[in-house]
Amino acid sequence: MAKPAALTTPDGRYIVVRGRLWRATNPGLSEADRTRHVAALMDGRRNVASARRAGDSVAEKAAHDAVDAAKHALGERGPVWWTDGAPDLNRHMARTTPYAAWFATAAANSDDAE
């Protein structure tokens, strides 16, 4: 069974996971750049797991750094990719943000409610 698409805020800035906002990938990235950075992110995540299994803290740190670099390149961390001056609400609970009314309605129709 396919995993349902993540609940995304109307402005496309965040996805909602278990009621929490997480910054979405910059939609201004080219498809080639997005694909390349996602591949680097997945490689980094696999390398974190591999290093943990091996008990290699040096390799694990390097893998975490690679994940962080990929997240920055995707726009999910670091400076925000939107230009209207809106604050970054990354990691905030949706119900405590300006998205609260939207989330109350959207969550009632999805599996992302708390």
* Residue type for position 2: A
Confidence of residue 113 (pLDDT cuts 50, 70, 90): very low
Q: Using DSSP bridges, classify how beta strands 20-23 and 14-17 pair: parallel, antiparallel or unpaired.
A: antiparallel
* Residue type for position 42: M
Tally the residues of the chain: 114
Percentage of residues of the chain with pLDDT beyond 90: 87
Give residue-wise pLDDT tens across range 15-44.
Answer: 999 999 999 999 999 999 999 999 999 999
Average model confidence (pLDDT) across the chain: 93
pTM, to two decimals: 0.86
Give residue-wise pLDDT tens across range 43-76.
Answer: 999 999 999 999 999 999 999 999 999 999 999 9
Give residue-wise pLDDT tens across range 3-19.
Answer: 677 899 999 999 999 99
| Domain range list for the chain | 8-24+90-114, 29-75
* Whole-number Å distance between alpha carbons of 18 and 62: 29
Contact of 35 with 42, CB cutoff 8 Å: no
Confidence of residue 111 (pLDDT cuts 50, 70, 90): low
| Closest by CA position to 38, among listed 4, 62, 70 | 70
